[in-house]
Chain A
């Protein structure tokens, strides 16, 4: 079946611009997660959605970052006034139910590589 998809695969933008990154989770998965991976590091958690609501956005680095999931499926990560330090691979994952004591694994998309010039 179809896995998690992310678009675009690559995005190059200029400092100060606004960008949107899209994630299509696996059909039927209620939980959706965004992570960010900088060069040479493991992925770091940004935000978690259960259904349409952001259940935990504690990993968002600052208020320039925002994410939505209006219909409980597709999610968009939005970055305002991009900075060079935002350059990274942004990964999306989904799971049938939230990971944790339920033992539900997260499945990852291929990521969007964001480069801020």
Chain B
């Protein structure tokens, strides 16, 4: 698996955009970037994934740099329910290596 680096914690005001960065400088050409989040006491929730192009769905947007060595997950209008641990994962195979993730706190 390509190693990923995320800040341990971030804060965001409710209603503002939350931008969560991830470095994955050792990613190889055919490896996807996945984002999951885990709200306390729940199973991990799939958010979005991408290979080269930027992606958007109903939950978030994923911006991948042209060299693919980093990415940013964007929650456009954060709500209190977005408070969770966010994991950026680059699986070399089928197993997801969650690491420690970024603990996002959305404040009123």
Name A residues whose Cβ lies closer than 8 Å to a Cβ of B.
Answer: 4, 31, 33, 35, 42-45, 48, 55-56, 59, 91, 93, 98-101, 103, 105-111
Contact = CB atoms under 8 A, between A and B. Distances in A.
Contacts, number: 64
Interface string B71-101: 0000000000000010100011111111111
Contact of A110 (B42, B94, B101): B42
Contact of A45 (B44, B95, B101): B95
B95 A105 contact: no
Contacts of A99: 34, 91, 93-96
B108 interface: no
Interface centre among A42, A100, A107 (most CB of B within 10 A): A42
A103 B96 contact: no
17 contacts: A33-B94, A33-B95, A42-B85, A45-B96, A56-B94, A59-B95, A93-B44, A99-B93, A99-B95, A99-B96, A100-B91, A100-B92, A101-B30, A105-B34, A106-B96, A108-B43, A111-B43
A42 B99 CA distance: 6
Nearest to B30: A101
B102 to A, nearest CB: 11
Interface of B: 30-32, 34, 42-46, 49, 51, 85, 87, 91-101
Nearest to A103: B32
Nearest to A50: B94
Contacts of B87: 42
A103 B51 contact: yes
A33 B95 CA distance: 8
B94 A31 contact: yes
A32 to B, nearest CB: 10
A106 B100 contact: no
Nearest to A40: B100
Given A43-B98, A48-B95, 12 more contacts: A31-B94, A35-B96, A43-B96, A44-B98, A45-B97, A48-B94, A103-B32, A106-B46, A108-B45, A109-B43, A110-B42, A111-B42
